[in-house]
Amino acid sequence: MINEKWRVTLDDGSIEYNTEEEALEKHPDRTPVFIQEDLTAQLAEIQSQLQAEQLKQEAQAELDISDKTMVRLIDAVVRGATTFTAPDAVAFSAYRYGLREVVRGNSSVKPTKPDYPQGT
């Protein structure tokens, strides 16, 4: 993406305008010079930031939804249907930890949701 500008050099510096007409209108005694700025790198950075923010929002939404499963897991442990150290409970806890890492910005990889823990 190219950003086109017209620059007019003055005795005390220069001013940029979006069109040649605007530059000539403001400074009819000067000759505007066409310049262009490549905004591709800036656009890529903005897109990257937007994608990272979207990933964080998705991870937060999944974390919020998984709260109900954690409450059910606690209930299942209290009832004796499972334990906190059961492999499926540990996997679900690791999944939530991975989501929190994405929300914090420490990871850019959203973890795969495991099966629901037994008894939930």
Q: Among 119, 113, 108, 118, which residue's Cα sits nearest to residue 66?
A: 113
Q: Quick one: tokens of 52?
A: 């990272």
User: How high is the pLDDT of residue 32?
Assistant: 86
Residue 3 pLDDT grade (very low, low, confident, very high; cuts 50, 70, 90)? low
> Is the separation of the CB atoms in 36 and 2 below 8 Å?
yes
Q: What is the DSSP string of 52-73?
A: HHHHHHHHHHHHHHHHHHHHHH
Q: What is the pLDDT of residue 2?
A: 59
For 115, list phi and psi in degrees, rounded to 5.
-65, 155
Judged against a pLDDT cut of 70, whether residue 1 lies above it is answered with no
pTM of the model: 0.66
- Mean pLDDT, range 76-99, rounded to an integer: 95
pLDDT digits (tens, 9 = 90+) for 46-79: 999 999 999 999 999 999 999 999 999 999 999 9
